[in-house]
Amino acid sequence: MAQGFIVNDLGGLSGVEASIGASYSTSKYVLLHEDSTIDPRSRAIPQGAYLSHLELSLTTASGSPTTVDCFLSYDSAGDDHLTSEVEDVALQAGVTTAALQSCVITIAQYCTMPTDQTTAGKLYLWLKVDTGTVDCTRARLHWHDKG
């Protein structure tokens, strides 16, 4: 059985992953893709896969966010949803750095990627917080194939 994860670009945040606020915005998605330079275990998601869970690490940019909402889509416009919206997931502050917050979201869903997705092997993560803004410093979507 093959397994792996797709991940966002780390380091040097793009404008897309920075300053995510209290509403979804087409200019504030997180692209998840294979990136073996970030981690050699990162592997492209196959056309048919079981999505296990999503790990999020967010850094508070302003305010005091305590929860995050999110969903995954096949497209960069956020209109072709892969998952339903998950709401009010509690953020856990870091032990030594309170501005670093994280959570793990169980997905537990099989999917087959459609031919009309924006880019094969890539998915789009949409985030919003209850208050303030955050930077998405890490998002890893873990998968395994149906075999």
Q: How do residues 78-104 score in pLDDT, each as one tens digit?
A: 999 999 999 999 999 999 998 999 999
Query: Do the beta carbons of residue 24 and residue 109 sit within 8 Å?
Result: no
Residues in the chain, how many? 147
In CATH, what number does 3-140 get? 2.60.120
Task: Note the pLDDT of residue 41.
Answer: 86
- Angstrom distance (rounded) from CA 50 to CA 91: 25
Checking if the pLDDT of 6 tops 70, the result is yes
Query: Do the beta carbons of residue 54 and residue 125 sit within 8 Å?
Result: yes
**Domain extent listing, the chain:** 3-140
Distance of CA 91 to the CA centre of its chain: 14
